[in-house]
Each structure stands twice: as structure tokens, then as C-alpha cells.
Amino acid sequence: MANLTYTYESRTFLGQVILDVSTNRNRLKMLHDKLFSHELSKIKAGTEVAVNIKIRKPKRTEQQNRYYWLYLSLIAQETGHDEDELHEAFKRKFLKKGRKQVMGEDVVTTASTTSLSVSGFIDYILNIEKLTGILAPDTKEFGLAPLK
């Protein structure tokens, strides 16, 4: 049998996981069912397909970013550290991904704060508040939901 090399042609369709009350199991409901059915009808029966499910999570907003850097500046005023030092220290403390070897040295890897979901960002701010004892500013000025 010859080794096959595959190429992929892909299409993206949005769906939502819903609970089917008749079976008490989750199922996928396509948000644009007619378009999905139309595109599916173009594929020859028996064709193998790969299905990739990506969970959509809202990312941190620009308002949250401005809020974060304001909060870092308030902490900097209290502690004498600059915002960049604080940013790196908090990432290492709260956003650790793991460790890896880089050029023979053990390095801590961290997630980016820009990749945080909205709820992940709130947890991150609350962790910083708890660690520093410095209250985060009111979120109303930034059009954000309360932290607590």
C-alpha cells in the first residue's frame, strides 16, 4: 500500500453546543444550518473529513488592557517597581505554563496576558490584588463589569 500524503481544504462554520433534553446529551447545533447543509452536499459521500472543534472564548478587551496598565502604575507608585517589572513578576507568579530547557538553562514559560479570556483576566487581577494588598481601581470608569 502506498503512503498517502493529504492536503486539506477547509471551511469554517459556527455552531453552538446545546443540551438535547430528549437524550440528556450535548449536541452541536449549526448557527447557519442551511449554509452548512449546502456545503456538505457538495462533498462526495464516503469522503473522509477531519473535524476540528475550537471553543470560542472572548479575549481581553482594550478597556481591560488600559485598566490593567493603570492598575500596574498604581502598584508601581506604592512599591517603587516599574510597570514592566511588575507585569513580568505577576505573569511568572500567576500565568505559569511550565518549564523548558533553552540553551541548557531551565526557563519558566508563561502565558501572555493578552491571551486571557475575560473571566481569566478578572481572576488575574484579583490574584494581584490579593498578593499586593493594593485594591484594584473601580471598573466602572472603564465600562467594565465589577471584579467581584
Q: Does residue 25 form part of some domain?
A: no
SS3 112: coil
Task: Flag whether 1 is in a domain.
Answer: no
100 part of a folded domain? yes
69 within domain boundaries = yes
Give every CB contact of residue 53 below 8 A, 6+ residues apart in sequence. Answer: none
For residue 125, what are the domain limits? 62-142
pTM of the model: 0.61
* Residue 112 counted as domain residue: yes
Pairing relation of β-strands 96-102 and 25-30? unpaired
CA torsion, ordered 83, 71, 118, 139, to nearest 10 deg:
-160
How many structural domains is the chain composed of?
1
Is residue 53, in this structure, part of any structural domain at all?
no
Can you tell me the distance from the alpha carbon of 37 to that of 100, in angstroms, rounded to the nearest whole number?
45
Cell of 117: 479570556
Please list the ranges in the chain whose pLDDT falls under 50.
Answer: none
Let me know if residue 3 belongs to a domain: no
Enter the DSSP assignment of 43.
Answer: S
In a domain, 74, yes or no: yes
Are 95 and 115 spatial neighbours (Cβ–Cβ below 8 Å)? no
